[in-house]
Chains A and B, each alone.
Chain A
Amino acid sequence: MNCEEFQLIGLDAGTGRITSAEKAAAADHASVCAKCAALADSWEAARSELSVFAEATRTAQAPARVQMRLLQELRSQKRPHVVYRRAGIIAAWALATAAAIVGVVSWQSWRSRANTPQARASVPAVINSAQESPVSDAVLVADEDGGNFTPLPGALPIDADTGAVYEVRMQRASLGALGLPVNEEDASDWINVDLLVAEDGTPQGVRLHDDANQLASLQ
């Protein structure tokens, strides 16, 4: 063994990395080479120091707080997915059930309303009156019918039962704003009317109070 070989493997003499023959060759070389012997001594001293350092850290472990943080992260990573997925499924079912209930109730309501004599009587009247534009004719129908509302131009026919009825005192000219014809001579007169207002707040029909004077003046 020469000095170069000794430097490469001779320092492993204290380990199990080289064979016994290599260890013997290294020992032989160190016995005749002062420089390599000094190197071996120096390394042994260093190895001794290293072993102290290795011993000091041999049983080192990550602090317990690391595990706690990791478990917290694991929970936050995994649980929301499960919760969100469950919540999504439940919400979807709830929504579907609600939609089905609303559909059934609406259909039954429509069926029951369509079958009542009052509905049969009122709805066609309104529809007929709506179809009988121009507006002047509609006013006449309402007047003749007495208890029915005269649909306003452009209003959809609705039943008086589904809307709200307001008794309003207004100037006759205000009927013009609702699209009804007004006699200009009596435009400043005050009249009492019933206003049929749909659920969305839009006026749908008007009914003049049973007052011969009002009818006369309207016409």
Chain B
Amino acid sequence: MNRREFIKKSIQAAAAAGAYTMLPASKLFGAVPDGKTPPHLVAVKNSTPAKMYAAALSAMGGISQFVRRGQTVVVKPNIGWDVTPELGGNTNPQLVEAVVKSCVDAGAKKVYVFDHTCDNWKKTYKTSGIEDAAKKAGALVVSAASEADYINVKVPGGKTLKETKVHKLAAESDVFINVPVLKNHGSSGLTIAMKNLMGIVWNRWSWHATGLHQCIADFAAYRKPDLNIVDCYRVMKANGPRGVSKEDVVLMKTLIMSKDMVAADAASAKIAGADPEDIEYIKLADAKGIGTMNLDSINIRRITL
């Protein structure tokens, strides 16, 4: 072996090793490390948002199931209102931080965090604690307050909502992770995973005028998130979606994770003490085949920490 050959071989070996590490674990070992197929839904109880997230994620087979090296990721929390975390009006910042961090650790090229806020976006990003938490974990926290950032998209199979304007990062990113908060909602009953997608839409208020439930169910077919992580840590049980005071909030220390938004919404609704059957958009989405609200028919992994 001469020197040139040696260098050539070394480069080949290095390239092979690099390629090997870039492949997600699932591609090499089948499904999950322990060989089982991952559960349809994971429910975790009794710990901090970050620890419950870690437990649920490992039950799902780890972040490598969802994020690969070099991909762009959008993490979409609910950052609707200019309220502090104790009021439960937005996704828990610690959860957002943990989600972003896991994506960064998985080698994501860029992790974006944004929401089309209801209140003033700069104030809301700040007050919610999400801007600081996400930045700390390495996310790019960007605005969704300018119509210029939205692009026209078709909604496949939409009954009422046939086309709309979606934030281009949400439309174009490789991975889309939905991180809603479970809370009471004066118009729709509860806001969870499907309803949270209104935050990537520009003119979502027209949904109210044309039929809120149908629009939520229609839009669920546009881009199913690669993963839904429902924050049920502090749950606003009344006066939602904004909340009036801490008295509206109950500490439930729960987290729901699923690739299926409908199942995640159904399970979360039960956490909130409601019947998913009472929430029209869940029924509509189930009927459209977006996912299943029949929790008895799916494989659920329940974890109490």
Do they bind each other?
no
Binding site for B on A (CB under 8 A): none
Which B positions have Cβ atoms within 8 angstroms of A?
none
